[in-house]
Structure 1
Amino acid sequence: MAKDVPRNHLELSEVGFGAGVFSGVYDEIEASWPVEACRQALQSGINSFDTSPYYGRSEFILGDALHHLADEFPRSNYYIATKVGRYGYYAREFDYSSACVTASVGESLRRLHTDYLDIVYCHDVEFVPFENIVGEGGALEALFKLKGEGKISFVGCSGYPLPVLLKIAQHQHAKGQNLDIILSYCHYTLQNTTLAQYAPLLRAAGVRYILNASPLSMGLFRPSGPPEWHPAHAELREAARKAMEVSKAAGFNIAKLASQYAFKAREEIGVDSTIIGLKMKEQVEEAVETWTEVKERERGLIEIPKAERKVMDEVLALLAPYHDYSWESPTKKEREG
């Protein structure tokens, strides 16, 4: 079999497969779900998968699932993104050294059963000093070296605070070594659309691809409510709970409303893809159905029902006091633990 080779252009599906859910940190998963979900995604036109060593056994599970599907869907049919630098909950469990980054990429290649990685991000860049990212002997130096060797196609950064991502992008632009890609999360949602302000600034700093992740804001907008560890403060949690109740009373699912809202980011602010956690086949089907509906609305093929407009107005009004509020990252516990 011919060896897989890296690519120099990304044609990402507008919906990307977030495999962080395979960690089990949100909910438990059944053994058969990953293969079924990945097969459904690939059959539906989803062509990118996002994971990380930090996400428990996600790399192992995703890698095995895609390997299982290799006869149906060769490696050239999809993109794999993973991350380096974060290996635990606390800041002390980060390692952005070149040696660690190089070793981490090698381990990810093995776990994911591939000869190259399409995208590798420095994971949660706000947790480490700036020089650890951009300086000599730091993470980006190692990633760009691996890119030159053909083991990585695109180098990027992921994180929560957009000012930090922009600072790195601008530094690299001034250096003449642009970041290829940025992964932002929880910043184009029902509650926070700050990415709209930063997307043009990131483009101006030479970033080729901008991805929006976690349209449900790490579970804040799911019918069962956010996981216990969610960093949102009590007031925002309560507003999200009320939004869920209002939606439910009107016959709508808050998760679908949140996904619809986030999927508009491509049309409205030009993001290249939205990454959503998909742990089972049914969730893939729901995500694709929702995305398709959004596209049909954008084309004027179907109208938004008046009842949906009304409930969306009510939801946004409940969240308005916290609009564009970003929680602290890292938290005091993450910094000092």
Structure 2
Amino acid sequence: MPLTQNKEVSNNKFEVSKLTFGAAVFNGLHNRIGEDWPSLSVRRALELDINAFDTSPYYGEGENILGSALYNLRDEFSRSSYYIFTKVGRYGLKDFDYSAKRIRQSVEESCRRLRTDYLDVVYAHDVEFVKREDIVEDGGALPELFKLKIELIFLVLFLGYPLDVLLDITRLQYDRNQPIDVILSYSHYCLHNIKLSDYIQEFNRVGVRYIMNASPLSMGLLRNNGPPVWHPASNELRHAVAQSSTLASRNNLNISKLAIQFALDLSGITSTVIGLSNPTEVEDAILYLKEVQARQKGEVVTPEIEKRVLTEIHQILKPYFNLSWESPPKNH
């Protein structure tokens, strides 16, 4: 497919939906994925006005799966009606390459896998795993991404787990008069960790226009059937979450719904990235969002039982509140 400049760049528009479809789940590492789920889920998301899709070459066949689903819907939903976010720099568990040559190659490969001739947003992926000079200096990721911004990319951004690392790089870029467009933080605004809320104002001050909050379920930790085996949470936090999930269930509530709605209520966020495995999860996410919006407008009130259970959950999680796991881990 020939690569051409993103037609939206000149319009300087970024009107992303409040929910972003997290396609990392398509790799099957969080839970089993039915063969037809990706195409059905993508269609349902577009029908319900979710207009942003997040993926990465690190997510196995994720880009190919998402690209095929979107391409098969091209007669119903034009490419200009949605945004595609992908990533560069990380390609495997310990496979990182932030060189300018690999960054450009990666963007072009992603375009082909996603069956598009431009990308709306490209993240430098998991920046805490590499040296800062590999990210910000000549020959590294960000300088090359800014070059690509006038060719194939609408917005340049980066993601990582430690918030201090994200803030350090955004400050540096701001001082260089080349501010970062977007940052993506994950697992830092959820039931057991709300650190992101303390950083929003400073991110805005140093030129970050859009802040994305990913993983309100904390990478699958905050769900009834527990986290995937690879999850970095401590055994103590896992046990506390399991207690919280049981408490919610005893009161006819769902820990995942509570967690998602808690995250969606954070102001100052452009969009919340949620992994959506099947059409039912898409529909549920939209219902959760509408309920939060109705509460914010005063159209409905939060049930007292829900307020009480959330208070009790926060008491259970209090010993581990705002504790972040190490990234990268010591054994990386």
Q: TM bucket by the smaller chain? A: over 0.9
Question: What's the counterpart of residue 24 of structure 1?
Answer: 28
Number of aligned positions between the proteins: 327
Q: After superposition, where does 1:245-324 map in structure 2 within 5 Å?
A: 245-265=246-266, 267=267, 270-324=268-322
Q: After superposition, where does 1:108-127 map in structure 2 within 5 Å?
A: 108-127=110-129
Superimposed CA distance per residue, residues 213-250 of structure 1 (whole angstroms, 9 cap, x where no aligned partner): 00000011011001111001111111001000100111
Question: What's the counterpart of residue 78 of structure 2?
Answer: 74
| SS of residue in 2 equivalent to 1:229 | coil
Q: CA deviation at 1:171?
A: 0.4
Q: Is the 8 A contact 1:6 1:117 kept in 2?
A: no
| SS of residue in 2 equivalent to 1:21 | helix
Q: CA deviation at 1:293?
A: 0.4
What code does the residue aligned with 1:279 have? S
Distance in 1 between residues matched to 2:67 and 2:223, nearest whole Å: 27
Q: CA deviation at 1:333?
A: 2.4
Question: What's the counterpart of residue 14 of structure 1?
Answer: 18
Question: What's the counterpart of residue 131 of structure 1?
Answer: 133
| SS of residue in 1 equivalent to 2:64 | helix
TM-score, length-normalised on structure 1? 0.95
Superimposed CA distance per residue, residues 278-327 of structure 1 (whole angstroms, 9 cap, x where no aligned partner): 01100000000000000001111111111111111111111111111111
TM-score, length-normalised on structure 2? 0.97
What code does the residue aligned with 2:205 have? A
Unaligned residue ranges in structure 1 (runs of 5+): none
1:184 is the counterpart of 2:182: no
Q: Is the 8 A contact 1:6 1:116 kept in 2?
A: no
Question: What's the counterpart of residue 208 of structure 1?
Answer: 209
Question: What's the counterpart of residue 104 of structure 2?
Answer: 102
| SS of residue in 1 equivalent to 2:31 | coil
1:37 is the counterpart of 2:38: no
Q: After superposition, where does 1:222-233 map in structure 2 within 5 Å?
A: 222-233=223-234
| SS of residue in 2 equivalent to 1:5 | coil
Q: CA deviation at 1:45?
A: 1.0
| SS of residue in 1 equivalent to 2:300 | coil
1:87 is the counterpart of 2:91: yes
| SS of residue in 2 equivalent to 1:148 | coil
Superimposed CA distance per residue, residues 79-120 of structure 1 (whole angstroms, 9 cap, x where no aligned partner): 000000001112xx1000000000000000000011100000
Distance in 2 between residues matched to 1:148 and 1:59, nearest whole Å: 23
1:331 is the counterpart of 2:329: yes
| SS of residue in 2 equivalent to 1:275 | strand
Question: What's the counterpart of residue 58 of structure 1?
Answer: 62
Q: Is the 8 A contact 1:231 1:327 kept in 2?
A: yes
Q: Is the 8 A contact 1:38 1:65 kept in 2?
A: yes
| SS of residue in 1 equivalent to 2:144 | helix
What code does the residue aligned with 1:286 have? D
Deviates more, 1:102-111 or 1:7-16: 7-16
Distance in 2 between residues matched to 1:16 and 1:73, nearest whole Å: 16
Superimposed CA distance per residue, residues 145-202 of structure 1 (whole angstroms, 9 cap, x where no aligned partner): 11122x0000001010000000110000000111000000001100111001111111
What code does the residue aligned with 1:227 have? P
| SS of residue in 1 equivalent to 2:274 | strand
| SS of residue in 2 equivalent to 1:178 | coil
Give the alignment's Cα RMSD to 1 decimal.
1.1
Distance in 2 between residues matched to 1:295 and 1:320, nearest whole Å: 27
Distance in 1 between residues matched to 2:27 and 2:7, nearest whole Å: 28
Question: What's the counterpart of residue 157 of structure 1?
Answer: 158
Distance in 1 between residues matched to 2:199 and 2:39, nearest whole Å: 36
Distance in 1 between residues matched to 2:33 and 2:307, nearest whole Å: 34
Q: Is the 8 A contact 1:6 1:152 kept in 2?
A: no
Question: What's the counterpart of residue 237 of structure 2?
Answer: 236
| SS of residue in 1 equivalent to 2:25 | helix
| SS of residue in 2 equivalent to 1:332 | coil
Q: Is the 8 A contact 1:179 1:206 kept in 2?
A: yes
Q: CA deviation at 1:5?
A: 2.1
Distance in 2 between residues matched to 1:6 and 1:137, nearest whole Å: 27
